Amino acid sequence: MNQKDIRNDNANVTRPAFWASLIFYGLIAFEFFYMFSPFAAYIYSIYGPGLQVFNLSESTSWFIRFFMPHIARETRSLFITWHEVIGMVLFAGGFIAFLAGAAQIYWNKLKKKGGVFGGIYRHIRHPQYLALMISSFGMVLVWPRYLVLFGFVTVCFAYFFLARLEERECERKFTDYDVYRSKTGMFLPPATENIFNRIAWSEKKMGKILSVLGLYIVIMLMGFAVAKGIHSYAINSLYTYTTQQEVYLSLGQITQDEIAKMVTTVKSDSVVAASLNKYQDTNDRFINYVMPTSLFVSEVPMYLPEGKAPIHEWPSDQDQSHFKIIFSLAQFGPDGPFEGINILLKAVNKTPVLEVWIDRKSESVEKIFHSPTDTYYEGMPVPVF
């Protein structure tokens, strides 16, 4: 049996397992896609309660938090500011690479030219799985919940096992498959073959299971540790002004002094002061969003003029002379409340209570709105920064 026949048969062996894996990761990626669809509100009302379960304990509430910004568009960090764009490039690039690999295989099959073994297949046996891993990592950057990171690590191991299942089947069917495998890498060229192939797959079944399980746990813990570090770094890269009980978060580039000046203007207004005076509980904590009045985002309930639709735009592109501050009560897991910047670091959701528009030139309050009911997500856990 030659290598062409082997590659052709591999496609047949892999197909059912591939679709099972695709469905699995589709569930993880589902949240990102529906957030950009007209049906976001309806679907979130179904999907959201599952996220709420994690809020029942501080030991699990962190699992649904974002570790990089989604609402804030501009930060002091180039990577944090552009992480979604980088993620979309990886996501699209990986998916295109996967389609290219599939097209080669099925084109050769349609033309009865035999399997594809040239090009990248000369060096690695599963370039399509590698492409899907790259695409999956892009999804982590686009929609960076710890939950999605968990799905990414899990699905990478799923692809590894799918590849092993394919290769075991080929070992049974083809006597010369070991020769082809010895000259290629699983996901990377042989010279840089990844650690998965070095698990050795000992003769003892329990040894295999423990080796893979141990590696899975180590990589998962390492991934969470890195994400937690990125989370702290991302929070510190935001444009904020903090007090013991409040965090003022600007969605765009602005100095701390400029935020503080607007806060002074707002807090000196008697109507605003009276409206906020009811929140005097020592446990009340606020995440207050600062942005141009022409900017509207769905994750923060706010006054929406007729004909306007919430969309994520760059704050620096908006009129900088008129701003608004949306005061929001922060929500935590059972171990809250927290203080200072930890309010933003530990919050799992928020409830807007008051919206104030400011004329920055005259340093005066223009309009005051009581925040509307959340018509998009109905209290479900969405990004807080």
pLDDT tens across 328-342, in order? 998 887 777 888 999
- Three-state DSSP at 285 gives coil
Q: 78 versus 135: which is more confidently predicted?
A: 78
pLDDT score for 308: 81
Give the per-residue pLDDT at 178. Answer: 76
Q: Are residue 54 and residue 133 in the same domain, yes or no?
A: yes
Q: Cβ contacts of residue 180 below 8 Å, gap of 6+?
A: 3, 6, 125
pTM (2 decimals)?
0.77
Same domain, 307 and 198: no
3-class SS letters over 104-154: HHHHHHHCCCCCCCCHHHHCECCHHHHHHHHHHHHHHHHCCEHHHHHHHHH
Residue 133 class from Cβ within 10 Å (0-12 exposed, 13-18 middle, 19+ buried)?
Answer: buried
Per-residue pLDDT tens over the stretch 18-72? 555 555 445 444 444 444 443 444 445 545 556 666 665 666 667 778 899 988 9
Model pLDDT, residue 322? 95
- Residue 368's φ and ψ, nearest 5 degrees, are -135, 130
Q: Residue 362 is part of a domain; what is its CATH number? A: 3.10.450
Point out the least confidently predicted range of 64-78, 138-152, 171-185, 190-204: 190-204
Q: What is the pLDDT of residues 292-325, one digit of tens each?
A: 999 988 888 888 888 787 777 889 999 999 999 9
User: Residue with structure tokens 């589709």?
Assistant: 26
Same domain, 151 and 42: yes
Same domain for 289 and 193: no
| Residue 48: domain span | 3-236
| Sign of the C-alpha dihedral computed for residues 209, 212, 216 and 222 taken in this order | positive
CA distances from 85 to 78, 81, 88, 296, 321 (A): 11, 9, 5, 20, 28
Distance CA 159, CA 43 (A): 28
Supply the pLDDT for residue 382.
Answer: 76
| pLDDT reported for residue 54 | 66
Residue partners of 316: CB distance under 8 A and separation at least 6: 74, 252, 253
Domain boundary (195, 217, 236) is at 236
pLDDT for position 313: 84
CA distance 121 to 145: 34
Assess whether 277 and 140 both reside in one domain.
Answer: no
Q: What is the domain count for the chain?
A: 2
Cis omega (within 30 of 0) for bond into 144? no
User: Can you tell me the mean pLDDT for 364-371?
Assistant: 90
Average pLDDT of the chain to the nearest whole number:
78
Question: Do 195 and 135 belong together in one domain?
Answer: yes
